[in-house]
C-alpha cells in the first residue's frame, strides 16, 4: 500500500539531521509574528482588561492580526487537496480507505498565511459559496452560513457528486485568554459520507494556541487530540497535535495511532503537520511518507464575481476590510470592520425590540435524538436545509444548485423570511415598553429579512409544499386547518417554494442552468446508513493548557 510519493520517502531517509533542523527552523518561522511598539500597545491595552480564562469571543481584536478572509471561507482549506480527496471512494479495502481519509484530513493544516493571523468573525446570516473544477471535468460544491453569533457557529456543506463524497459540518470555536497565550477551542464536528460504501467519518479538530501575545514573539500552534472515527467499521484515528514544551520538544509535531474495533493499534503517525508526516504499519514495521506539506500545492476554490454576490456573502460583505488589510491600511480596515459590526448590533436590537426570532436561510436544526433521521449527529447542530439524494450525479448537481447561487451567472432560486415569532429559547427578551415606538431598521438590511411579524407568522402557517426544499422554520404548534392541504407525511416534511427568477438573465446562464429548477423525486432527507453503529468507548479530548478532559460525543455514544 503506497501512502505517499515514493521518491520523497526514499529521499527523506538520506536527509541529514542538520538539513532537517534547518528546514524545520525555516518552516516554523512562518508561524511567528513580530509586533512593533504601536501594535503591541494596542494589544496590551485590550489584554489588560481581561483575566485568565476569560471569553475572547466578544473582544474586538486589532486588524493587523486579521487574515483577509472570513472563517466561512477559511474552512475550505480542508477541501483544497483534491488529489487526496477524490480517490477516497475508489479504494476497495476498508482499512486502506480509512488510512487515506486520515491522510486527507492531515493534508489541509499547512494552508495558512504567514505569521499569526485570525480569520474575520462572520456576522449572523453571512453566507459563502464556492466550487472547485477538477481535472476530470467534475466539480465540487461548497455552501456555508453563520448560523449563530453568540456562541459563534459556522455551518457548512460540501459535495462532489460524481465522486460520492459529501461533508456536513459545524465549527464552534470557543476562545480563552490564558495570560501570555490565547486559545481557540475548536468544538464541533464534521461528518464525511461516502455514498457508495455507506460509511460515515466523524471528524474533530485540534485546538489553536497563540503564544507570546504580551511579550516575546507571537507564535501559532495546534495542540491536543483530534479524532477520525468510522462507526460502520469501528476504526478510529487518535491524532495528537503536540505543543512545544518549555524545556524540550519541537513545534508542529504530530503523533497518534489508528486502531481497530478491538482497540488494537494498526498504524502509528509521526512527523510535523507543516512538513513531512509519516505512517508506520505496526504489523510489518514498514514506515512510509504519508504527506509532504513542503512540496504540496493546494487548489483554492473559485467564487462568483463580487457584482453577482449578495450583500451578505462573505467576499462582498468584507471586501473593503480585506482590501485594506492587504495594503496594510489599518485605519480604513478598522473603520470598515466597525461599520459592519455596528450594523449587526443594530439588526440584533431591532429583532429584540420587535420580538422576532432569527433563522438561518440555508440550514436547519439537526433532527437528532432517539429515532431522529440524524440520530447520533447532534453535535452538527445545523445541517443543510435541502434534500440532495438524486439517483444520478447530474440530478444531485441540480439539487445543490437549487439551494444557493454557486456558479457564475447563476441566479439565486429562493428567498427566505428570516425572522418569525415563536417560543424559541434563543429569543432575547425585549425591554421596550408597549408605549415606546418601534425603531426603524437600517436601510442596508435586506428587505426579505424584515417582514411584519404578524404577517410573516400568518404566511408561515399557510405555506404550501412546493419543490424539493425543506421548511427552514421551527414547527408551529397546533397549526390551523387549511382547506385542501396536502396530507402530512413524516418522511417528507413541509417544503418551501422556489422563487421564480426576477431577472431575464436566466437564458444566459451556464450549461444546463435552465434545468436546475426542475422538480426532482422527493426521497429521504439524507443518505442514511442502514444498521446499528459499532459500539465503543466515549472519546475524550485533552486540553493541554487546562489539563482537563471533555467528552467527545459521536454516533456511538
Residue 431 lies in a domain: no
Q: How far apart are CA 324 and CA 349, in angstroms?
A: 29
3-state secondary structure of 385: coil
Per DSSP, 220 falls in state E
Q: Which three cell numbers stand for residue 305?
A: 464575481
Q: Please state the rounded mean pLDDT for residues 346-360.
A: 93
Among 403, 432, 431, smallest CA distance to 131 is for: 403
What local confidence, expressed as pLDDT, does residue 246 receive? 73
What local confidence, expressed as pLDDT, does residue 61 receive? 62
Residue 326 lies in a domain: yes
What local confidence, expressed as pLDDT, does residue 528 receive? 38
pLDDT of 529 higher than 80: no
pLDDT tens digits, one per residue of 287-311: 999 999 999 999 999 999 999 999 9
Q: Which three cell numbers stand for residue 311?
A: 450583500
3-state secondary structure of 556: coil
Q: Please state the rounded mean pLDDT for residues 359-365.
A: 95
Q: Please state the rounded mean pLDDT for residues 259-264.
A: 96
Count the neighbouring beta carbons within 10 Å of the beta carbon of residue 499.
14
| CA angle, 359 then 360 then 361, to 5° | 115
Residue 268 lies in a domain: yes
What local confidence, expressed as pLDDT, does residue 51 receive? 62
Q: How far apart are CA 357 and CA 422, in angstroms?
A: 7
Task: Kindly report the length of the chain.
Answer: 557
The answer to whether the beta carbons of residues 259 and 227 sit under 8 Å apart is: no
pLDDT tens digits, one per residue of 56-97: 555 666 667 789 999 999 999 999 999 999 999 999 999 999
Cα dist from 8 to 109, 287, 292, 358, 470, whole Å: 20, 12, 8, 52, 49
pLDDT tens digits, one per residue of 126-164: 999 999 999 999 999 999 999 998 889 999 999 999 999
Q: How far apart are CA 147 and CA 128, in angstroms?
A: 12
What local confidence, expressed as pLDDT, does residue 44 receive? 61
Q: Look at strands 66-70 and 118-120 and give their pairing.
A: parallel
Q: Which three cell numbers stand for residue 263?
A: 482497540
pLDDT of 511 higher than 50: no
What local confidence, expressed as pLDDT, does residue 113 receive? 78
Residue 470 lies in a domain: no
Q: How far apart are CA 181 and CA 320, in angstroms?
A: 30
Residue 459 lies in a domain: no
pLDDT tens digits, one per residue of 451-469: 444 444 444 343 333 334 4
pLDDT tens digits, one per residue of 397-421: 999 999 999 999 998 665 444 444 4
pLDDT of 514 higher than 60: no
Q: Which three cell numbers stand for residue 463?
A: 405555506
Model confidence at 382, in pLDDT bands (50, 70, 90)? very high
Model confidence at 554, in pLDDT bands (50, 70, 90)? very low
Largest CA distance in the chain: 81
Give me the CATH number covering residue 33.
Answer: 2.40.160.120
Domain that holds residue 349: 27-354
- DSSP run (H or E) holding 221: strand 218-230
Domain count, the chain: 1
What local confidence, expressed as pLDDT, does residue 45 receive? 56
3-state secondary structure of 147: strand
Residue 404 lies in a domain: no
Amino acid at each position: 500500500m503506497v501512502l505517499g510519493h515514493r521518491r520523497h520517502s526514499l529521499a527523506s531517509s538520506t536527509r541529514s539531521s542538520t538539513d532537517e533542523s534547518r528546514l524545520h527552523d525555516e518552516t516554523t518561522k512562518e508561524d511567528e509574528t513580530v509586533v512593533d511598539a504601536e501594535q503591541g500597545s494596542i494589544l496590551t491595552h485590550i489584554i489588560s482588561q481581561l483575566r485568565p480564562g476569560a471569553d475572547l469571543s466578544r473582544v474586538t481584536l486589532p486588524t493587523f492580526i486579521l487574515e483577509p478572509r472570513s472563517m466561512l471561507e477559511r474552512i475550505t482549506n480542508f477541501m483544497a487537496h483534491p488529489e487526496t480527496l477524490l480517490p477516497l471512494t475508489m479504494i476497495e479495502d476498508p482499512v486502506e480507505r480509512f488510512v487515506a481519509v486520515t491522510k486527507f484530513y492531515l493534508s489541509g493544516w499547512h494552508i495558512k498565511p504567514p505569521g499569526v493571523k485570525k480569520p474575520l468573525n462572520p456576522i449572523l446570516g453571512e453566507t459563502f459559496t464556492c466550487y472547485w473544477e477538477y481535472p476530470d471535468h467534475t466539480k465540487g460544491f461548497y455552501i456555508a452560513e453563520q448560523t449563530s453569533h453568540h456562541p459563534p457557529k459556522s455551518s457548512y456543506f460540501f459535495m462532489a457528486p460524481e465522486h460520492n463524497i459529501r461533508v456536513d459540518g459545524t465549527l464552534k470555536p470557543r476562545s480563552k485568554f490564558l495570560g501570555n497565550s490565547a486559545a481557540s477551542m475548536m468544538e464541533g464536528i464534521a461528518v464525511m459520507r461516502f455514498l457508495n460504501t455507506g460509511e460515515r467519518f466523524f471528524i474533530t479538530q485540534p485546538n489553536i494556541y497563540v503564544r507570546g501575545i504580551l511579550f516575546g514573539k507571537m507564535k501559532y500552534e495546534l495542540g491536543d487530540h483530534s479524532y477520525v472515527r468510522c462507526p460502520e467499521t469501528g476504526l478510529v484515528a487518535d491524532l495528537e497535535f503536540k505543543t512545544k514544551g518549555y524545556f524540550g520538544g519541537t513545534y508542529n509535531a504530530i503523533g497518534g495511532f489508528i486502531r481497530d474495533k478491538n482497540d488494537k493499534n494498526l498504524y502509528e503517525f509521526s512527523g510535523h503537520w507543516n512538513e513531512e508526516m509519516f505512517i508506520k504499519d505496526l504489523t510489518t514495521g514498514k514506515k512510509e511518507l504519508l504527506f509532504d506539506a513542503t512540496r504540496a500545492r493546494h487548489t483554492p476554490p473559485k467564487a462568483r464575481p463580487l457584482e453577482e454576490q449578495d450583500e451578505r456573502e462573505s467576499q462582498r460583505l468584507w471586501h473593503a476590510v480585506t482590501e485594506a488589510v492587504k495594503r496594510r491600511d489599518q485605519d480604513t480596515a478598522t473603520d470598515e470592520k466597525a461599520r459592519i459590526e455596528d450594523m449587526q448590533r443594530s439588526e440584533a436590537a431591532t429583532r429584540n425590540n420587535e420580538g422576532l426570532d432569527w433563522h438561518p436561510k440555508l440550514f436547519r436544526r439537526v433532527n437528532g435524538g432517539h429515532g431522529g433521521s440524524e440520530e447520533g449527529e447532534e453535535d452538527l447542530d445545523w445541517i443543510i436545509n435541502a434534500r440532495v439524494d438524486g439517483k444520478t450525479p447530474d440530478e444531485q448537481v441540480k439539487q445543490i444548485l437549487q439551494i444557493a447561487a454557486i456558479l457564475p451567472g447563476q441566479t439565486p432560486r429562493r428567498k427566505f423570511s428570516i425572522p418569525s415569532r415563536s417560543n424559541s429559547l434563543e429569543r432575547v427578551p425585549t425591554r421596550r415598553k408597549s408605549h415606546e415606538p418601534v425603531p426603524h431598521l437600517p436601510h442596508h438590511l435586506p428587505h426579505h429579512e424584515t417582514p411584519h411579524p404578524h404577517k410573516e407568522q400568518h404566511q408561515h402557517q399557510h405555506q404550501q409544499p412546493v419543490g424539493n426544499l425543506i421548511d427552514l422554520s421551527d414547527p408551529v404548534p397546533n397549526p390551523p386547518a387549511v382547506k385542501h392541504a396536502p396530507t402530512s407525511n413524516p418522511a417528507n416534511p413541509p417544503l418551501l417554494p422556489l422563487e421564480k427568477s426576477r431577472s431575464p438573465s436566466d437564458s444566459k446562464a451556464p450549461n444546463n442552468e435552465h434545468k436546475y429548477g426542475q422538480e426532482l423525486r422527493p426521497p429521504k432527507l439524507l443518505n442514511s446508513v442502514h444498521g446499528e453503529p459499532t459500539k465503543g468507548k466515549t472519546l475524550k479530548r485533552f486540553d493541554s493548557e487546562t489539563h482537563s478532559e471533555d467528552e467527545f460525543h459521536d454516533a456511538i455514544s
